[in-house]
A and B are shown apart, each in its own frame.
Chain A
């Protein structure tokens, strides 16, 4: 596919500057400012109703913005229609035209733009080969499996080699195995063709495995925008800490630890996989239930009225009702200000040391 990559224009950067959208009094998107670097893969992640799909539709031009500006490349596209924004989109339902064959679906946009027939056929051949659709070009969408339909939607999105591609939960209708395959395939396609990708998902695994940058949204606002690893290792709020990672991070009010009774304004976080058995550990809990996961066991425990989970090697024999003490290394401790929800890295060493003492 060297010819394709040579022809591909590089992706364009996208800047959202304080865009907002209100649906009859309910704020869906609230002053969002996001930078999507050119050629990057950015995932918009968040629980349902956080405004991620609305944001994507505003970038696409399918919704108008109430305020703020959208820039694609050097151009302000805020007031432009979606056909003038030079982008492609894959819908959750795939939105394939049911009366057109696979080939006609893929070249629909080229036909609308009156691309010459030889050029159209040549591109179609290439895209079909790239996505493994060559044998299916004469079929109708209804005669395809879910994964094949997904590929056709991808084909329609990439054939025109637009600098920006938007995807709205494209994998949510596939089964787990296929989803994993398509995840790898979409990521490879994006890197090969070099376009800028904005990908909406509510699945943190998808976001973390595919994206260069994850933008975590909550109630129409950016909770944190960072690389996946950074988001996991340094969540900036308790919401981010609990949204990323399975099972979610354990959060404790600081005052349940005797040594920290003066620090009642802090919340402490430790990931379940960072907890270890240790007779001198600062967390002394009671085991309530044990889940066997194969390589690991997940212990559901209780300390001073706060529930928490620990992921331990399966070699550990645990029984409900048993009391157990856990420790963790100081760098695995996350400190948050309870009132503001801010991360307090300045206190991490101090609190860690006081807990050990």
Chain B
């Protein structure tokens, strides 16, 4: 009898497990194994290298460059998009005329595919007749500029697009959280003499902490995960100035076909991401109030 139930149990689990293993667990483990092997070529099978790939990675200046870029990218996108999301949520949570329209407008970037978004922004950034140059030329008489082609500004230009894309998505979470805070808490604080600023910092913001944790974990993962727009905007250039870790992994694996080394880079990315996620939970845990 018990044996039969076991069979049923495993059969019920099977469909989900097949997909989970096929697309998540097996690739992850294969990647880890491949990272210790050389890239197989036509007649030459993969050869075990030990930690050679890792040594190569640590000595690779491009790796350090894209890692550094990624750090700047994270620092540039996360606080700004989270801050903007809170501001926008507070704004559309107020009673204002046409707030449904404003909410929709803020959320639109999330609905659009990043590739399409990047193409629109490509036009904005176009030297000479792009939107930004037209505006700055008209208002301040600035000469044409090449934001995407200049190593100084390329990464920042990509950051701006990412913030624009992400803030609206995070806003929806903050809006939901704001609406879950009872109005009477704000009223009680008002009666106790608190102004808008104090109400925000002492009441609203602490009560939004669980959302902030969730959003910032997502933002960190996104800052390593979102690279679609780089293909359109800069293709990682100039001189890897706007290349991010995942973009570099893609290039290594599918342009240079160095899959072994790409697997090593992927393992580095995964380790980095898990460390960040765990760290965030420990860092925030003391400060987050869960109901």
Question: Quick one: which of B187, B191, B207 contacts A99, CB cutoff 8 A?
Answer: B207
Within 8 A of B (CB), among A301-357: none
Report the bound CA distance from A82 to B206 in whole Å: 23
Chain A proximity of B182: nearest CB distance (Å): 7
Chain A CB within 10 Å — which of B189, B193, B206 has the most?
Answer: B193
Report the bound CA distance from A88 to B188 in whole Å: 9
Within 8 A of A (CB), among B6-59: none
Chain B proximity of A304: nearest CB distance (Å): 51
Tell me if B87 is interfacial: C-beta within 8 Å of chain A: no
Within 8 A of A (CB), among B274-291: 289, 291
Tell me if A26 is interfacial: C-beta within 8 Å of chain B: no
Number of interface residues of B (CB under 8 A): 20
A contact residues vs B (CB 8 Å cutoff): 60, 62, 81-83, 87-89, 91-93, 95, 97-99, 108-109, 112-113, 140, 142, 156, 160
Chain B proximity of A122: nearest CB distance (Å): 19
| Cβ A82 vs Cβ B184 within 8 A | no
Report the bound CA distance from A82 to B188 in whole Å: 10
Chain B proximity of A124: nearest CB distance (Å): 14
Chosen A-B contacts, 7 in total, with CB atoms closer than 8 Å, are A62-B187, A83-B195, A91-B188, A97-B203, A109-B192, A112-B189, A142-B291
14 additional contacts, CB 8 Å, given A108-B202, A140-B289? A83-B190, A83-B191, A83-B192, A83-B193, A87-B191, A89-B187, A93-B182, A95-B188, A97-B202, A108-B189, A108-B192, A112-B189, A112-B192, A113-B193
- A95-B182, A95-B185, A112-B198 known; A88 and B206 CB under 8 Å? no
Chain A proximity of B93: nearest CB distance (Å): 18
| Cβ B188 vs Cβ A89 within 8 A | yes
| Cβ A91 vs Cβ B206 within 8 A | no
| Cβ A82 vs Cβ B198 within 8 A | no
Report the bound CA distance from A73 to B221 in whole Å: 59
Chain B proximity of A64: nearest CB distance (Å): 14
| Cβ B194 vs Cβ A91 within 8 A | no
Chain A CB within 10 Å — which of B192, B209, B291 has the most?
Answer: B192
Report the bound CA distance from A62 to B190 in whole Å: 9
| Cβ B185 vs Cβ A112 within 8 A | no
Query: What are the 5 A-B residue pairs with the smallest beta carbon separation, nearest first?
Result: A109-B192, A99-B289, A95-B188, A95-B184, A83-B193
| Cβ B184 vs Cβ A91 within 8 A | yes
- What residues of A have a CB within 8 angstroms of the CB of B202 in the complex? 97, 108, 112
Report the bound CA distance from A87 to B187 in whole Å: 13
Report the bound CA distance from A91 to B206 in whole Å: 21
Chain B proximity of A141: nearest CB distance (Å): 10
Report the bound CA distance from A349 to B185 in whole Å: 55
- What residues of B have a CB within 8 angstroms of the CB of A62 in the complex? 187, 190-191
Chain A proximity of B275: nearest CB distance (Å): 28
Chain A proximity of B279: nearest CB distance (Å): 23
- What residues of B have a CB within 8 angstroms of the CB of A81 in the complex? 190
Report the bound CA distance from A160 to B191 in whole Å: 12
Question: Quick one: which of A87, A99, A112 contacts B206, CB cutoff 8 A?
Answer: A99
| Cβ A98 vs Cβ B188 within 8 A | no
- What residues of B have a CB within 8 angstroms of the CB of A108 in the complex? 189, 192, 194, 202
Question: Quick one: which of A98, A112, A142 contacts B194, CB cutoff 8 A?
Answer: A112
- What residues of B have a CB within 8 angstroms of the CB of A91 in the complex? 184, 187-188
Report the bound CA distance from A140 to B192 in whole Å: 19
| Cβ B191 vs Cβ A88 within 8 A | yes
Within 8 A of A (CB), among B198-257: 198, 202-203, 206-207, 209
Q: Name the residue of chain A whose CB is nearest to the CB of B190.
A: A82
Chain A proximity of B178: nearest CB distance (Å): 15
| Cβ A83 vs Cβ B194 within 8 A | yes
- What residues of B have a CB within 8 angstroms of the CB of A92 in the complex? 184
- What residues of A have a CB within 8 angstroms of the CB of B185 in the complex? 95, 97
- What residues of A have a CB within 8 angstroms of the CB of B209 in the complex? 99
| Cβ A98 vs Cβ B190 within 8 A | no
Chain B 172-188 interface 0/1 with A at a Cβ cutoff of 8 Å (1 = within): 00000000001011011
- What residues of A have a CB within 8 angstroms of the CB of B184 in the complex? 91-93, 95
- What residues of A have a CB within 8 angstroms of the CB of B187 in the complex? 60, 62, 82, 89, 91, 95
Chain A proximity of B17: nearest CB distance (Å): 39
Chain A proximity of B101: nearest CB distance (Å): 22
Question: Quick one: which of A60, A98, A113 contacts B191, CB cutoff 8 A?
Answer: A60
Report the bound CA distance from A92 to B209 in whole Å: 26
- A93-B182, A112-B194, A112-B198 known; A98 and B189 CB under 8 Å? no
| Cβ B291 vs Cβ A109 within 8 A | no
Question: Quick one: which of B191, B194, B207, B289 contacts A89, CB cutoff 8 A?
Answer: B191
Chain B proximity of A327: nearest CB distance (Å): 52
- What residues of B have a CB within 8 angstroms of the CB of A140 in the complex? 289
Report the bound CA distance from A140 to B209 in whole Å: 16
Chain B proximity of A80: nearest CB distance (Å): 12
Chain B proximity of A57: nearest CB distance (Å): 8
Report the bound CA distance from A88 to B190 in whole Å: 10
Question: Quick one: which of B193, B207, B289, B291 contacts A112, CB cutoff 8 A?
Answer: B193
Chain A proximity of B179: nearest CB distance (Å): 16
Report the bound CA distance from A112 to B198 in whole Å: 8
Chain A proximity of B201: nearest CB distance (Å): 11
Report the bound CA distance from A95 to B193 in whole Å: 15
Q: Name the residue of chain B whose CB is nearest to the CB of A159.
A: B192
- What residues of B have a CB within 8 angstroms of the CB of A98 in the complex? 207, 289, 291
Chain B proximity of A59: nearest CB distance (Å): 11
Report the bound CA distance from A192 to B193 in whole Å: 25
- What residues of A have a CB within 8 angstroms of the CB of B192 in the complex? 83, 88, 108-109, 112, 156, 160
Chain A proximity of B88: nearest CB distance (Å): 23
Report the bound CA distance from A95 to B181 in whole Å: 10
- What residues of B have a CB within 8 angstroms of the CB of A97 in the complex? 185, 188-189, 202-203
- What residues of B have a CB within 8 angstroms of the CB of A99 in the complex? 206-207, 209, 289
Chain A CB within 10 Å — which of B191, B192, B193, B202 has the most?
Answer: B191
